[in-house]
Amino acid sequence: MKGICILGATGSIGVSTLDVVARHPDQYRVVALTANGNIDALYDQCLTHHPEYAVVATESKAQQFKDRIAASPVSDIKVLAGAEALQQVATLDNVDSVMAAIVGAAGLLPTLAAAKAGKTVLLANKEALVMSGQIFMRAVSESGATLLPIDSEHNAIFQCMPAGYTTGHVAKQARRILLTASGGPFRKTPIADLDTVTPDQAVAHPKWDMGRKISVDSATMMNKGLELIEACLLFNMDPDDIQVVIHPQSIIHSMVDYVDGSVLAQMGNPDMRTPIAYAMAWPERFDSGVAPLNIFEVGHMDFEKPDLQRFPCLRLAYEAIKAGGIMPTVLNAANEIAVEAFLNEQVRFTDIAKIIEASMARFTADRADSLELILQADLKAREVAQTVIGQLAS
Ligand code: NAD
Ligand code: MG
């Protein structure tokens, strides 16, 4: 029986994880659930899964939540609040696996704490890895933590790696990674129309049902940019050896090209419960609840090269990883600020890339070899991005 802590339990990945957990009560026990604002959803999850701990990230909502739990049939749940508590529950002795499913930089410290504590880290929170890079990978190797990717593409790549492969290492006979992308909702939209797309249009993803931030990232293809950096780190690959492939059907989740000419792909319906179940059952497999793939219904599959004119965010991600140092941290932070501003209707869709590019231009690729330097760069990049937004408006 393994104990699991789910950071970001109320989000899209968190909910899918609990769905998989509920299918395997003989193998997984929920030790801790955490949420930011949606305490109604967290309350319902507490009733169903009866964790030992529930963490509310926003202190302001914690008291009300404590009162509700105290009056409930699950009154023995310990309710904690704040960012420190996230690290506390991610490192509890009876937690074996930590699902890192908080969105954005807010997930970095608890995910890093889990890695340092030698846990099995199920990594959905790609921003945490992108912003901390080598620091994170070093924490994993020093503590002996097991790092398993949840992002569908990286999970697919991991599945296509040789037997016994562990993340962070070079798979010697693999010469290239083919990182697939759906192309998002605007793959065919005339470029001139992208100026006026609304947040609701941008979050309406054709293939995946996800949180709002990652949905916008998919529409700009910054999601693929972050995933490119994520793949460089997880699989110790050079960015030039990773080819992004637009595959609108989202049936192949990525491929590994080997020196003998073999290209291995992992396929399946686009449902995050497959990579989640794979990582939870690893090195075995168990049921995820996902319907079997109907290959006849799929019929055919298409592949295209991405257009960097249409998707400048992808170009910026290549530039950031090649520059190295703090650049990926800056890219990620500026993107988080720009996406939030877009979702709040402060800036246009096409401004997102402009804000990131202008922010990156104000930094040099300085060293990023301590957590302190990374957090400093993250904070500074957020300030710079806000300034750029202010200048756009004026
Ligand atoms: P979401 O917005 O649906 O959920 C985010 C979760 O994080 C929620 O539980 C929320 O309460 C919590 N949270 C948000 N801000 C927080 C803060 N400041 N402090 C503490 N908790 C906070 O997002 P999602 O779609 O589930 O994505 C989660 C992560 O997984 C992201 O990093 C995303 O890139 C990655 N991911 C998601 C998918 C997907 O299909 N949804 C696929 C691949 C990777
Ligand atoms: Mg993905």
192/244 same-domain check: yes
Any idea what the CATH number is for the domain that residue 31 is in? 3.40.50.720
Atom of ligand 1 nearest to the CA of 217: 34
At 291-344, the pLDDT tens digits run: 999 999 999 999 999 999 999 999 999 999 999 999 999 999 999 999 999 999
Query: Domain for residue 381, yes or no?
Result: yes
At 253-294, the pLDDT tens digits run: 999 999 999 999 999 999 999 999 999 999 999 999 999 999
Question: Residue 75, class by beta-carbon neighbours within 10 Å (0-12 exposed, 13-18 middle, 19+ buried)?
Answer: exposed
The last residue of one of the domains, among 127, 149, 171, is 149
The last residue of one of the domains, among 101, 122, 149, is 149
Residue 215 has pLDDT above 80, yes or no: yes
Query: Domain for residue 184, yes or no?
Result: yes
Q: What is the pLDDT of residue 172?
A: 85
Q: Model's pTM, two decimal places?
A: 0.98
Protein residues with CB under 6 Å of any ligand 1 atom: 8-14, 35-36, 38, 57, 101-103, 106, 124-127, 151, 208, 210-211, 213-214, 272
113/190 same-domain check: no
Residue-averaged pLDDT of the chain:
97
Query: Domain for residue 316, yes or no?
Result: no
277/369 same-domain check: no
Query: Domain for residue 185, yes or no?
Result: yes
* Arithmetic mean of pLDDT, 175-201: 95
Expressed in angstroms and rounded, the spacing between residue 40 Cα and the centre of ligand 2 is: 28
At 244-253, the pLDDT tens digits run: 999 999 999 9
Residue 205 has pLDDT above 90, yes or no: no
137/179 same-domain check: no
22/96 same-domain check: yes
Q: What is the pLDDT of residue 206?
A: 82
Q: How many domains does the chain have?
A: 3
Contact status, residue 293 vs residue 267, Cβ threshold 8 Å: yes
Q: Which domain holds residue 90?
A: 2-149
Q: Which of 6, 13, 220, 337 to mutate to test the pocket of ligand 1 (most atoms within 8 A of CB)?
A: 13
- Confidence at 58, pLDDT banded by 50, 70, 90: confident
- Confidence at 34, pLDDT banded by 50, 70, 90: very high
**Distance separating alpha carbons of residues 3 and 211, to the nearest angstrom:** 25
Residue 393 has pLDDT above 80, yes or no: no
**Distance separating alpha carbons of residues 370 and 134, to the nearest angstrom:** 9
Q: Give the type of residue at 176.
A: R
285/330 same-domain check: no
- Please name the residue that has the structure tokens 């921003």: 127
158/177 same-domain check: yes
At 134-166, the pLDDT tens digits run: 999 999 999 999 999 999 999 999 999 999 999
Query: Domain for residue 283, yes or no?
Result: yes
74/156 same-domain check: no
Please give the structure tokens belonging to residue 319. Answer: 């530039």
Closest-approaching ligand to the CA atom of 343: 1
The last residue of one of the domains, among 149, 175, 192, is 149
Query: Domain for residue 305, yes or no?
Result: yes
- Confidence at 350, pLDDT banded by 50, 70, 90: very high
Query: Domain for residue 319, yes or no?
Result: no
46/156 same-domain check: no
134/195 same-domain check: no
281/336 same-domain check: no
At 98-144, the pLDDT tens digits run: 999 999 999 999 999 999 999 999 999 999 999 999 999 999 999 99
Q: What is the pLDDT of residue 219?
A: 97
Q: What is the pLDDT of residue 57?
A: 87
Query: Domain for residue 317, yes or no?
Result: no
Q: What is the pLDDT of residue 269?
A: 97
67/212 same-domain check: no
